[in-house]
Structure 1
């Protein structure tokens, strides 16, 4: 049975969740927070999703992560967890978690669970993220 859990989270809120695959995209993908028109939205909004996916390297990273998760889950006796982390867990991580879930589902996973741990928490200021 291929059971995959996908979690989005923000490093600025709590420690990362336990996961077989843990990704930190704070330094590698464009941050929608920096665009005032996107700041209050989440990774579930199409404009934010597209902003994240348009970042060079994002699609390739997604495909590689989904393939790795699927391969790990093929013989696993328990769910395989993929955790995407960004600064606040509201934009990049959410969009990437949703896309990962869609890719692993399409690849034949039996069960795909998605959790957005920090999406509904308040926005973090740049100073809070650095702390």
Structure 2
């Protein structure tokens, strides 16, 4: 029923339609089923129900949701896998400070410059509690991965600092895996 209703092709795709495909799949899985210690009937399960069942049987207790934090430059486009996007172009830009322009957000001088401004401090005071509120709720929805992106003009200064600061703060309360990517930090600097 699931394949005829959704009009998806069955992965086996045997000649003659859906039923021969299901029959062939069952034949192929006989040996595996005989060795299985658990068999889950998915006939009436939604994808979310199946995920819940698998997590209850095999979950580790640790958060299963991966949090992926990305810094990026708006001039190179939004990261396609971002679920939450924060624009930090309102923050003072180190690009226009001659001694900081050629550096990136991982340099301590750039970090100090970005973090010293009241708007940056206030932004972090809002975004970190928001993530503390939102992350468990996304996980409740059985989201496997949550992409959080911070963008500035070129993706070299402000967004890098903020992505690192937010990652550090989230690690203090989030039990699951967290990874950070600075997508555009190594792109050549272009003055316009």
TM-score bucket of the superposed structures, by smaller chain: 0.7 to 0.9
CA distance 1:61–1:53, shift in 2 (3 Å): same
Runs of 5+ unmatched residues, structure 1: none
Residue 106 of structure 1, aligned match among 161, 165, 172: 172
Equivalent residue for 2:95?
A: 33
Residue 21 of structure 1, aligned match among 75, 84, 105: 84
Equivalent residue for 1:82?
A: 148
Runs of 5+ unmatched residues, structure 2: 1-62
Q: Is the 8 A contact 1:4 1:69 kept in 2?
A: no
Please give the alpha-carbon distance, in whole angstroms, between the structure 1 residues aligned to 2:179 and 2:132: 13
Please give the alpha-carbon distance, in whole angstroms, between the structure 2 residues aligned to 1:73 and 1:60: 20
Q: TM-score, normalised by structure 2?
A: 0.60
CA drift at 1:39: 0.7
SS in 1 for 2:118: coil
Are 1:43 and 2:105 an aligned pair?
yes
Please give the alpha-carbon distance, in whole angstroms, between the structure 2 residues aligned to 1:63 and 1:101: 14
Q: Once superposed, what is the RMSD of the aligned Cα atoms? A: 1.5
CA distance 1:68–1:59, shift in 2 (3 Å): same
Equivalent residue for 1:68?
A: 130
CA distance 1:67–1:109, shift in 2 (3 Å): farther
Larger CA Rg, structure 1 vs 2: 2
SS in 2 for 1:19: coil
Please give the alpha-carbon distance, in whole angstroms, between the structure 2 residues aligned to 1:74 and 1:3: 12
Equivalent residue for 2:185?
A: 119
CA distance 1:90–1:100, shift in 2 (3 Å): same
Please give the alpha-carbon distance, in whole angstroms, between the structure 2 residues aligned to 1:123 and 1:52: 18
Please give the alpha-carbon distance, in whole angstroms, between the structure 2 residues aligned to 1:115 and 1:4: 11
| 40-49 or 70-79, larger mean C-alpha shift | 70-79
Q: TM-score, normalised by structure 1?
A: 0.86
Q: Aligned pair count?
A: 124
Q: Which one has the bigger strand percentage? A: 1
Higher RCO (CA 8 Å, separation ≥ 6 residues): 1
